[in-house]
A and B are shown apart, each in its own frame.
Chain A
Amino acid sequence: MPPLIEALTLHKSFSHTRAVAGVSLRVDGGEAYGLVGPDGAGKTTLLRLLVGALDADSGTAQINGYDVARQTELARQHIGYLAQRFSLYGDLTVLENLRFFGEVRGLGEARVKARAEELLRFVGLAGFESRRADALSGGMKQKLGLACALIHEPKVLLLDEPTTGVDPVTRQDFWQLLIRVLAQGTAVVVSTPYMDEAARCNRIGFMHSGRLLVEGTPRELAAMLNGRVLELIAQPKDRARRVAQADPAVEDVLTFGDRFHLRVAEPAGPLARLPAALAEAGVTVTRLRAIPPSLEDVFISLLAQPDGK
């Protein structure tokens, strides 16, 4: 079976910005692909190229085997898309929005009605049918967006930061919904600034300056820094940080709440040297140990050396 999403060396520039610079991507049915990267990395542009909202300068994108540039409308029949910015009609009601997006995708009246009812229950908006979309809360808007994107049972679902600005409980709900969509064999691409969300994906692509720097399962990506992250809990913190940074094997010191993550070239040296150095500086060490790296550690290390490894 061909992949549901297949992009080959997509390029897109805006006057002076190379927003997407040679991205290739394959996503199969039932797979969730997480797109992470800092602001301006090109995530939105990449998704817009995949849905054909923008024309690529070069490269091709296929959705379910249809070329997005040449068989645009055919390809779009299989796409559900939730834009980063709220893009439903605020002056229409919840039901009117669903109905509109269902009908313009060629669903008959009865079908739209049944689907709308089903989806509203699915996303938890039953009872809000006649509320104007503008009057919904942020999380409800995103759920309505998801419902509208799913109304025609697309094979491909593209979500651009669907949970940004949404409360944690609703985020949790949202992911439960996605898991059920995935179970139906839909290919999902989701861009997200949240690492915990990225970790839920089957595969993650890390994007920076228009390029996909690395790609892999969360486990594979985390393994890139295996044995190279130390956790340090110590007081006083600013002195502890200064001492840690001074160690020749320590590449970076990140603050995670009450603790530091030290990225090291190799763990043995610092583990041997740091306790004495910290004690000498009058720092009380609660904990110093090697830990399995988090995705965040990996991405920050990639940002520090953006040419990959």
Chain B
Amino acid sequence: MLNTRLLSLIRKEFIQISRDPRTLVLVIVIPVMQLFLLGYAATHDVRNVPLAVFNQDRGPEARALLDAYRAADYFRLAFDAGSEAELRRLIGEGRARVGLIIPPDYGTQLQRGAAQVAFILDGSDPTVASTALAAAQLIGQAHGTQILAERLAARGVALSLTPPVEVRTQVWYNPDLEAAHFMVPGVIGMILYALTSLLTATAIVRERERGTIEQLIVTPIRPWELIVGKMLPYVSLALFNTVEVLAIGAWWFGVPVRGDLWLILGISVIFLMTSLGIGLFASTVAHTQQEAMLTVWMTLLPSIFLSGFFFPLEAMPQVLQWLSYAMPLRYYLSIIRSLLLKGVGFAEIQGDVLALTVFGLVIMTAAVVRFRKRLD
């Protein structure tokens, strides 16, 4: 199957890739950048939330409370506000996300029985706010329980701090709930999907845009050879990127690679049929590289949002969840997450693999049928 014509097409494509800075950046830098950006920036872990304190009671009890907040790394005591107005301003300007107001009589109140403090939250980022709220309550409760225990101890009552009922939660597969573990499979999906279809589409349209297609057409290259010769280089690049991202994910972010690597690559190749098909299809519609990129993006955008790349599918409205079944990326992401994080075998994912294969075949066939080795 690999005849001279095909081989020379492939070699030509690689020479061109190696001389095109834009493609090189796309292929070498973007996947790694995407991985680091999404691995870090899109992290949902809430740490070091800046806290402004308006402490009107400078007594030892108030200091003990602040120490409790300081001890947990959820908060960072960033500002010591001199007035309630200043605290409001700090939160209003976004320099502090949460505020703690300790009343002047906190110490006396506490000695008398119970004291109150005010905790103020900036709710504009719900993720941060809800986590901060939970953390603040937890820290407050723990501190309260400790004071209670100390008091009882002072009266000679030993108190076991064990509550009567305890719900122990255990998170499987991603025990630290690290965003990177969720994102690395996503980035692999994006490389195979977006990057590959973009590169394939532009590689074909470039021949039209630069006029080289006219010379190519009059050679005895068969249409299928042209298609395969255009696609194979980008398939190999995509697989190279997949391994690259997996390696960085494993070594840098500590993402487990529990499943069989060959199974992952094999399924990636099946998935590539879809992206190559989209790229090829876009190339039959577009006349310039710009048009090709636009066409590909318009196809990709809905599927990126509806595939569980950014938002968990379960959190989406029912209608959108149904729609997501029409998105090949959904199946791939689900497969690759299962393979990486759960280490499942083929049996558990075969339904999704079947769906992926059907999508790939349909899209690829449609594109190949449309593709013609002619000028018009």
A: which residues have CB within 8 A of B?
14, 48, 51-55, 73, 76-77, 79, 81, 83, 85-92, 96, 99-101, 103-106, 108, 148
Contacts and interface: CB of A to CB of B under 8 A. Distances in A.
A211 B216 CA distance: 28
Interface in B8-22: 8-9, 11-12, 15-16, 19-20
Contact of B374 (A53, A86, A104, A108): A53
B217 interface: yes
Interface of B: 4-5, 7-9, 11-12, 15-16, 19-20, 210-222, 374-376
Given A53-B375, A104-B5, A92 B218 contact: no
Contact of A86 (B4, B211, B216, B221): B211
A89 B12 CA distance: 9
Q: Chain B's interface: helix, strand, loop or mixed, by majority?
A: helix
B376 A105 contact: no
Contacts of B213: 87
A95 to B, nearest CB: 11
17 contacts: A52-B217, A53-B217, A73-B220, A81-B218, A83-B214, A85-B214, A86-B211, A87-B214, A89-B12, A89-B16, A89-B212, A91-B20, A96-B15, A103-B8, A106-B4, A106-B220, A148-B215
A88 B375 contact: no
B374 A55 contact: yes
A48 B375 CA distance: 9
A144 to B, nearest CB: 11
B220 A100 contact: no
A199 B220 CA distance: 33
Contacts of B217: 51-53
A53 B219 contact: no
Contacts of B219: 76, 101, 104-105
Contacts of A54: 374-376
A92 B15 contact: yes
A85 B222 CA distance: 23
Contacts of A76: 218-220
Contacts of B375: 48, 53-54
Given A91-B20, A100-B12, A85 B211 contact: yes
A88 B216 CA distance: 9
A99 B219 CA distance: 13
B16 A83 contact: no
B162 to A, nearest CB: 72
Contacts of B374: 53-55
Contacts of B211: 83, 85-87
Nearest to A80: B218
A104 B376 CA distance: 22
A149 B212 CA distance: 13
- Residue among B213, B215, B219, B374 with most chain A CB within 10 A: B215
Nearest to A106: B4
A104 B218 contact: no
A22 to B, nearest CB: 19
A51 B215 CA distance: 10
Contact of B5 (A87, A92, A106, A148): A106
A53 B212 contact: no
Contacts of B9: 104
A92 B210 CA distance: 13
A293 B86 CA distance: 98
B15 A87 contact: no
Nearest to B226: A104
Contacts of B221: 104
- Residue among B19, B219, B221, B376 with most chain A CB within 10 A: B219
A52 B216 CA distance: 12
- Residue among B20, B211, B221, B222 with most chain A CB within 10 A: B211
A71 to B, nearest CB: 11
A104 B220 contact: yes
A47 to B, nearest CB: 10
A112 to B, nearest CB: 9
Which 8 A-B pairs have CB atoms at the shortest separation, nearest pair first?
A: A103-B8, A87-B215, A87-B211, A73-B220, A83-B214, A85-B211, A81-B218, A87-B214
A54 B211 CA distance: 14
Contacts of B11: 100
A51 B218 contact: yes
Contacts of A53: 214, 217-218, 374-375
A109 to B, nearest CB: 9
Nearest to A74: B220
B161 to A, nearest CB: 72
A83 B219 CA distance: 13
B215 A83 contact: yes
- Residue among B9, B222, B376 with most chain A CB within 10 A: B376
Contacts of B12: 89, 92, 96, 100
A303 B211 CA distance: 31
Contacts of A106: 4-5, 220
